[in-house]
Amino acid sequence: MSAEAKQGYYELIEPRTLFNSIIPVLLGMMYTEYNFQFFRIFPTIEMCIATIVLQIFMNVNDGYWDYKREKAAKTGDHKKNPIGKYHLNPKHVLAFVWVLFIVSAVCAILIGLQTNIYIWIVGIICYAIAISYSTGSHTISAGPFGEIAACFAMGFGIFLVMVYINVCSKVSFNWNFIYPIILAAGIPEICNFTLMLGNNLCDHDADIANGRHTLVSYIGIKGGLYLFVFNYLLGFFLTGWAIWIGVLPWSVALILICIPTIYKNMRFLWKIQTKPKSFPKVVQNTQVLFITEAVGFFIGLILNLRIR
């Protein structure tokens, strides 16, 4: 493979986005250890592989279908896509998409065979979202439900499955099990929601021109900005509630130190909504929150071990 082709596939894979799937997996593992002190090694490894490979699948598949749509529209934008920019063979890219999907799906099936019907249901929903997110002419990402889909699959779904595959033999899959996870996954949920929302805010004019009717096209840029603020407040509220009922350690409150950074970046986003300047601010908020919560959770686990 030439250096040009390697760079093209690197840009299609978008390694920086893997952070958004790895952290919910890590937080789910920490939640399991903190609340249940029990691990099943093989399902955990299979879940890590399935999640990371599925994220790569979504990135490459998104790039492939963007290229097809842009080329069909004859806008010239397809030349900016990694496939056109680096002269990749679309058939080879599509084959790569299929390989990624099969690898992830095989791991997911193995997980399902080792657990029960509830994992199959959640897994099928998450994979359906992953496939329909950018495949075809009518995609989730081009409609008003992209943020909700990202919040459910990447924020809540990964966290929930990571916990349940380890403790399915010990706990019942009911509301008493699910609702604390909804609270504990507050930061991953709102971060994935706001990443999608921030992307759509910055692409608002281009999306309208290309016939993409995202949530922002319905509520407007101002409405999107207010929703942005609400979601951060909701994320902190859910996390605080989880700490209050004891399913997260008090040290997770360390995320409060992120408020100045989030406030600064939100002020910038409120004034300017452009992809090159504004979207990195949204990504920074996500990274700061994810890293800080993971560090706080790790501190709580260490302290919990010392107490035991």
pLDDT in tens, 38-95: 889 999 999 999 999 999 998 899 888 888 877 766 655 556 678 888 888 889 999 9
Average pLDDT, the chain: 88
Q: Which of 49, 52, 45, 38 is nearest to 166 (CA)?
A: 38
In this structure, which amino acid lies at residue 170? K
Q: Please report, in angstroms and rounded to a whole number, the separation of the first and last CA atoms in the chain.
A: 53
Query: Is this prediction's pTM over 0.85?
Result: yes
- High-pLDDT (> 90) share of the chain, %: 52
pLDDT at residue 78 in the model? 56
At 158-181, the pLDDT tens digits run 999 999 999 998 899 999 999 999
Mean pLDDT of 263-277: 87
The string of DSSP codes covering 228-296 is HHHHHHHHHHHHHHHHHHTSS-GGGGGGGGGHHHHHHHHHHHHH---HHHHHHHHHHHHHHHHHHHHHH
Please check the confidence at residue 306 and state whether its pLDDT lies above 70. no
pLDDT of 293: 95
